[in-house]
């Protein structure tokens, strides 16, 4: 499939602020500095669709982007940034948990991890949290252009071991910089939810 159209629809904190049209939702989440906005912009081929902040942890809202007038890509607030206060961390947890709890439209969660580093304790907790809620989870390791082929293989092994991924769990590597494999990743993440496959 091709992403021909992408537009920001709304930002939300409370459940009543979410879109009400029952379109399928695919949510992206990861650490504050994992490159979440960059990958969203790269996959949609829109430089400024998701705001790239120089200050990690700035996104506090659940952002909804309509893709091909067909389904939503949902940008969840980044986690794990050390300079965020306890009250802000608590607010983040409540915002995300509110969205994840009984959200029937949410059909897949894309958990972003940094391919250069071992997944953190927060990454492990998030992966377990999504599985606890019964969601289909796909792991995407970002910034893969920074690694050699040998390093990529090592990274793959470390991520699989740390997150306790099974053979059925899906793991992809991606670089927003060179966009290698972007078409394949788009198909793997979104194709089954799209009605327009051109």
Judge whether residue 73 has pLDDT over 60: yes
Residue 35 in domain: yes
Split at pLDDT 50, 70, 90, the class of 153 is very high
What CATH number does residue 23 fall under?
3.40.50.300
In angstroms, rounded to a whole number, what is the distance separating the alpha carbons of residues 142 and 177? 10
Average pLDDT score over the chain:
87
Judge whether residue 141 has pLDDT over 90: yes
pLDDT (average), residues 46-51: 82
Yes or no: say if 76 and 27 are a contact pair by the CB < 8 Å rule: yes
Split at pLDDT 50, 70, 90, the class of 56 is very low
* Residue-number span of the structural domain to which 33 is assigned: 6-111+122-139+189-193
- pLDDT of 133: 80
What would the two tokens of residue 83 be?
């300079």
- pLDDT of 34: 87
pLDDT (average), residues 103-125: 94
Residue 31 in domain: yes
Residue 39 in domain: yes
Q: Domain total for the chain?
A: 1
What would the two tokens of residue 35 be?
């490159």
- pLDDT of 95: 84
In angstroms, rounded to a whole number, what is the distance separating the alpha carbons of residues 181 and 187? 10
What pTM does this model have?
0.89
User: Residue 133: CB partners within 8 Å, gap ≥ 6?
Assistant: 100, 101
Query: Quick one: how far is CA 78 from the chain centroid?
Result: 9
Yes or no: say if 142 and 78 are a contact pair by the CB < 8 Å rule: no
Split at pLDDT 50, 70, 90, the class of 13 is confident
Judge whether residue 57 has pLDDT over 50: no
Residue 178 in domain: no
Window from 49-63, 132-146, 159-173 with minimum mean pLDDT: 49-63
CA dihedral 52, 54, 55, 56 (to 10 degrees): 60
- pLDDT of 85: 55
């Amino acid at each position: 499939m091709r992403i021909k159209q992408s537009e920001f629809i709304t930002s939300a904190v409370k459940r009543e602020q979410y879109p009400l049209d029952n379109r399928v939702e695919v949510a992206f989440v990861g650490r504050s500095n994992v490159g979440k906005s960059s990958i969203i912009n790269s996959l949609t081929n829109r430089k400024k669709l998701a705001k790239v902040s120089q200050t990690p942890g700035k996104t506090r809202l659940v952002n909804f982007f309509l893709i091909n007038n067909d389904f939503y890509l949902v940008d969840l607030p980044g986690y794990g940034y050390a300079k965020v206060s306890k009250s802000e961390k608590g607010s983040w947890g409540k915002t995300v948990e509110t969205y994840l709890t009984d959200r029937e439209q949410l059909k897949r969660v894309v958990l972003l991890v940094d391919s250069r580093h071992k997944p953190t304790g927060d990454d492990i907790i998030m992966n377990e949290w999504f599985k606890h809620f019964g969601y289909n989870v796909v792991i995407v390791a970002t910034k893969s252009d920074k690694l050699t082929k040998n390093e990529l293989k090592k990274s793959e092994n470390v991520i699989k071991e740390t997150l306790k991924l099974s053979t059925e769990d899906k793991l992809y590597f991606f670089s927003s910089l060179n966009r290698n494999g972007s078409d394949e990743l788009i198909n793997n993440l979104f194709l089954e939810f799209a009605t327009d496959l051109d």
